[in-house]
Structure 1
Amino acid sequence: MNRNFILYILITCLLISCKKDDESGDDGYMATPLELQVPPLFEDKLLPPVIPADNPQTVEGVALGRKLFFDPILSADNTMACASCHSPSSGFSDSRQFSIGIDGIAGRRNSMPLFNLAWNYTENFFWDGRAVTLENQALEPVEDPIEMHNTWPEAVASIQADTEYPELFQDAFGTTTVDRTLVTKAIAQFVRTLISANSKFDRYTMGTAQLTPSELNGLNVFMDENRGDCFHCHGNPNSPLWTDNIFHNNGLDESFTDRGRGEVTGDPREFGTFKSPSLRNLAYTAPYMHDGRFETLEEVINHYSEGLVYSSTIDPLMKKVDQGGVQLSEQDKADLKAFLLTLSDPSFISNPAFQNPN
């Protein structure tokens, strides 16, 4: 065979190999598979987690997503990261009523906590459900003018020019070429690892902890339709997510400056409805409600006890709105708070795997 022809074939193969190395999503590359550490409690009571076929969990993908989550490189001025509004110490939420973007502008909703989102079977994210996947959820804040106020081309260019990231993308996805799809895939992989299942109540459910009489009465208040009546929207011991992931108008306002889910769907029947947040980790996630109007759990409990306000879209589950709420006794209020705090998980906010690696 002609030597020049052989040389031509070798060069062509080399060029194809290099091209593949720079293309997003090389089908031939396999990162190290990583199964989610599903708690036994979840295995017993929940369906398997939602893992997209086109974004499987990998060791390298999670590591990359963790680095990106804590890195302000995604913002226009390199001052704001995902973790700026979703801090581990606050249950991956924000202790401020409204998060402040890079231009000093406050948002209009409280930052939702991030945990156990791989079990969100309804696949709607944010208070209004406008994002339908975790990958999609990670797209918006980068370009939001009151958050990171960047553009994706600029964010991608910054990551591409970094000395470390191209190699990390190679490890995670088999390509050194960064794009926003791979950025959000990596962040979503990390967020799916944020699992909280070691609260006092979890251990009580598993038979390794005891509740006090006050906490037990609080559980009874929570489950009693004639007292707290909380379980319809927030689940019960057989549903350890402590949310139904559905949208409700819980009697906060007579009229709506924020239409919530109705702002997304345009359906007047959904004006003023917002997604039920999980009751896990309430010890760390104050302030409460979509607009962070309540600073304490006492205020939240008082709202449902005697602060309900009627509006045209109020949820039928707010059955006692005509009398202002469920009218709890002071003892039941105190016991309900004691129970709710048993749903908090100190090991979650201190887990070394969930902290800033940078």
Structure 2
Amino acid sequence: MYACSKNETELLPTQVDITFTVPANFPAPTYNFENNKLTNAGFALGRKLFYEARLSADKSISCGSCHQQFAAFANLDHKVSHGVNNCQGKRNSPPLFNLAWQKGYFWDGGVKNIETVPLNAIGDVCEMSTDIQSIITFLKNTPPYPNLFKQAFGATEINSQLVLKSFAQFTAVLVSGNAKYDQVSRKENGATFTPGEQAGYLLFKEKCSSCHKEPFFTDFSYRSNGLDLTSTDEGRAHITGVETDMGTFRVPTLRNIEYTGPYMHDGRFYSLDEVLEHYNSGVEPAENLDPLLKNGIALSATEQKQIKLFLITLTDHDFIKNTLYSEQ
């Protein structure tokens, strides 16, 4: 879907051939690069910054520390994010892909623009614990960054706008849309579901698709799924100040879920079996519980197995192994 014919760090803006392509079964994205022209040099700079641990206060944490490619840019086996000085946050690191279609970011939707997303990690005391001005000073005085910014933007001055735009040129290109499910959906290469996967797909559409809508397998809404009778995390209410938003969180995508555990906003479930059993028997009658979960979601052992077979068809191995997204 994306191609660079040369080493991206060697390319000048006039030699660009990297492109952003919308999968055939996806709608138009929200972010479209109109005011942030996608170039090989800009993408390469954004990728380098994404993996640059020296941007953090103690030079130990990069964006890639909590968003690991082999986990679909989630944080494998960590319930919550780990930042500088091994400080532990309060929420699970969500996977990073298909961000160009989102209108809100983080578990609580506290940021609305993909270009400003990095500011949260930069300033959070339990993540990178620094500030954008300190990062700008570092970049101005650390080769090869001045030259890379000049290649990417034709600018001799490094400022916050260009730093954030370069991050977005990398993160917005993280598109995952070539799982087995997609190939079946697009009728590509004769791809078909096995009987177990097909049974799981039908069950999924019956019992899960109201919130996990295709093709993103989320409707991007914020809901209480009955994890606790009373949530200790404000969730969306921290942003809106609305009492009924207490303990509501963004419905997560199920794409690549085989590799994005632990699950839920606080990483409390380590397996899909635990997740499915929560909906089958563990939903708490919270005051603002989503009405769709009032009676839970009854799932027999066989049905849970079939749904898991389908969920594995959402794994995009090409995305997870694409060296274009790897640390160079």
Corresponding letter in the other structure for 2:237: G
Q: Which one has a bigger Cα radius of gyration?
A: 1
1:98: Cα distance to partner?
A: 1.2
Assess if the C-alpha contact under 8 Å between 2:58 and 2:85 holds in 1: no
Corresponding letter in the other structure for 2:256: N
1:274-285 matches, cutoff 5 A: 274-285=249-260
Assess if the C-alpha contact under 8 Å between 2:22 and 2:28 holds in 1: no
Q: Distance in 1 between matches of 2:50 and 2:316?
A: 21
Q: CA RMSD in A?
A: 1.5
Cα displacement string for residues 116-151 of structure 1 (whole angstroms, at most 9, x for unaligned residues): 11112xx11000000111111111111111111112
1:38 is aligned, of 22, 25, 32, to: 22
1:73: Cα distance to partner?
A: 2.2
Residue of structure 2 equivalent to 1:11: none
Q: Distance in 2 between matches of 1:257 and 1:190?
A: 34
Residue of structure 1 equivalent to 2:209: 231
- 1:68 paired with 2:42, answer no
Q: Distance in 1 between matches of 2:25 and 2:33?
A: 23
Cα displacement string for residues 291-321 of structure 1 (whole angstroms, at most 9, x for unaligned residues): 100000000000111111011111112131x
Cα displacement string for residues 179-200 of structure 1 (whole angstroms, at most 9, x for unaligned residues): 2221111111100111111111
Q: Distance in 1 between matches of 2:140 and 2:14?
A: 21
1:35: Cα distance to partner?
A: 3.3
Q: Distance in 2 between matches of 1:355 and 1:34?
A: 16
1:116 is aligned, of 74, 98, 106, to: 98
1:31 to 1:186, Cα distance in 2 relative to 1, 3 A: farther
Q: Distance in 1 between matches of 2:265 and 2:29?
A: 28
Q: Which runs of 5+ in 2 are unaligned?
A: 1-12
2:312 is aligned, of 322, 341, 352, to: 341
Corresponding letter in the other structure for 1:152: I
Corresponding letter in the other structure for 1:354: Y
Structure 1 runs (4+) greater than 6 angstroms displaced? none
Corresponding letter in the other structure for 2:151: D
Q: Which runs of 5+ in 1 are unaligned?
A: 1-28
1:103: Cα distance to partner?
A: 1.5
Assess if the C-alpha contact under 8 Å between 1:251 and 1:314 holds in 2: yes
Q: Distance in 2 between matches of 1:276 and 1:30?
A: 41
- Calculate the TM-score normalised by the size of structure 1: 0.84
Assess if the C-alpha contact under 8 Å between 1:76 and 1:155 holds in 2: no
1:204-223 matches, cutoff 5 A: 204-207=184-187, 208-223=190-205
Q: Distance in 1 between matches of 2:232 and 2:250?
A: 17
Corresponding letter in the other structure for 1:334: K
- Identity score, percent: 40
1:112 to 1:48, Cα distance in 2 relative to 1, 3 A: closer
Q: Distance in 2 between matches of 1:313 and 1:319?
A: 10
Corresponding letter in the other structure for 2:38: Q
The number of equivalent residue pairs is 313
Assess if the C-alpha contact under 8 Å between 2:257 and 2:312 holds in 1: yes
1:49: Cα distance to partner?
A: 4.6
Residue of structure 1 equivalent to 2:107: 127
1:155: Cα distance to partner?
A: 1.4
Q: Distance in 1 between matches of 2:216 and 2:319?
A: 14
1:154 is aligned, of 113, 120, 134, to: 134
Residue of structure 1 equivalent to 2:88: 106
1:1-358 matches, cutoff 5 A: 32=16, 34-42=18-26, 46-95=27-76, 96-120=78-102, 123-207=103-187, 208-224=190-206, 229-235=207-213, 239-320=214-295, 325-357=296-328
1:30: Cα distance to partner?
A: 8.1
Q: Distance in 1 between matches of 2:299 and 2:46?
A: 45
